[in-house]
Amino acid sequence: MKEFVFNFTSNNINKFSLGSEVYNLLTTALIFDQSVTLILSLKEDSLNKNSLLFLSKVVNFPGEFRLVSKKNITNYQFNFLGIELLTSEEIENVIAKADYCVNC
């Protein structure tokens, strides 16, 4: 199984809209039973339930899918998606172990 990591640094959530390149890459990896980690490298004010609703359709795909964000985030209203809070070093390790990593 290949490990795909998408480091989402953009505040442009349209990159995950149906048919967009990033959405297609992410869903293709999941459909082919690959491991996918999406790192939410967003500013804390961007991490709220309304702005992250676009991810709810991705979370329901079959396959090993993991959502990760930095541990220093204090806004917990987005936990409905099961986001793991990791330190910067842990996030760097996730990226280092990946077979494929893209900043988007």
Choose the weakest-confidence range: 36-40, 47-51, 88-92.
Answer: 47-51
Q: Which residues contact 42 (CB under 8 A, 6 or more apart)?
A: 8, 9, 11, 69
Side chain identity at 91, as an amino acid letter? I
Output the average pLDDT for the chain: 79
**Is residue 47 predicted with pLDDT exceeding 80?**
no
For residues 94 and 81, the model is more confident at: 94
| pLDDT score of 96 | 96
| pLDDT score of 32 | 87
**Is residue 84 predicted with pLDDT exceeding 70?**
yes
* Predicted structure pTM score: 0.80
Please state the rounded mean pLDDT for residues 33-37.
89
Instruction: Measure the CA–CA gap between 89 and 10, rounded to whole angstroms.
Output: 21
Residue 72, token pair as written in the block:
């220093």
